[in-house]
Structure formats: C-alpha cells, structure tokens
Amino acid sequence: MPKLLYVDDEFINLQLFKFNFQKHFELYLASSGQEALEIIESEDVSVIISDLKMPEMDGIELVSEIKKKYPEKICFLLSAYYLSEAISMGLNEADIFEYIIKPWKKDELLKTLDKAYNSL
C-alpha cells in the first residue's frame, strides 16, 4: 500500500482525510511542519500533502525544507484560498506537484494522487 503523509494544523481536517483515504493508503498524519519532518525522517513516505496556512511553518516553507533534503519527494499544497501571484511564485520555487483547493473531492483527489504515484 502506498505511503502518504497528510499535514494540517486542524484536527478535524486530519480526521476527515483519514476517514476518506485510510483504505487507499498507509497514512501518516501530522499537525505541524515540524512533526511532518520528523515522520519523513523515520518513514519512507513518497507523497506529502500539506495545508498551506499553518502556524510556525507554512506549507511552502515545509515543502522547501523537504525538497532540500529529499528532492524526489512529491509534494502537494492544499488550501481554501485560490492562487494569488505571491502564492504562485512560492509554488514555483518550492517545486509543488499540484495545488489543491479545499474542499477537495475524494474521487478527483484519488485520481491526482494516482498520477503522482505513477510518476515515481
């Protein structure tokens, strides 16, 4: 089963994601960027989905940290906000596989994740 790390500072979002995707992936959940980095150090996770807006370390900062050490990892950003020019510039610099708008649709997200795993 493919390993997937989902990062979000809101507990309800972590639980919702787990409920929807636990049968499809070996899921790892993190409530902060720092916790996500610790999981990546100890688990062979290929795909990471992170919320954009989080305290302490936002999603772009997290992806940048991941890509410095693990450039092969596939990273997604997730947000309720549509792309602004500033975010778009950050995405290009951070090497994001795809930007996902909340609320996500399970079937669409599964197709996108399948595309990501097939590109590994």
- Given this model, what pLDDT does residue 40 score? 98
Helix (H, G, I), strand (E, B) or coil at 79: strand
Q: Which residue would you say has higher pLDDT here, 20 or 80? A: 20
Q: Convert the pLDDT of each residue in 72-117 to its tens digit.
A: 999 999 988 776 655 665 566 668 888 898 899 999 999 999 999 9
Tell me the pLDDT of the chain averaged across its residues. 91
Residue with tokens 């609320």: 103
Structural domains in the chain, sorted by start: 3-118 (3.40.50.2300)
Contact 96, 74 (CB under 8 A): no
pTM, 2 dp: 0.92
Cβ-proximal residues to 21 (8 Å cutoff; 6+ apart), any chain: 4, 6, 27, 106, 110
Contact 49, 78 (CB under 8 A): yes
9-23, 59-73, 92-106: range with lowest mean pLDDT = 92-106
Answer for the pair 66, 48: CB distance below 8 angstroms, yes or no: yes
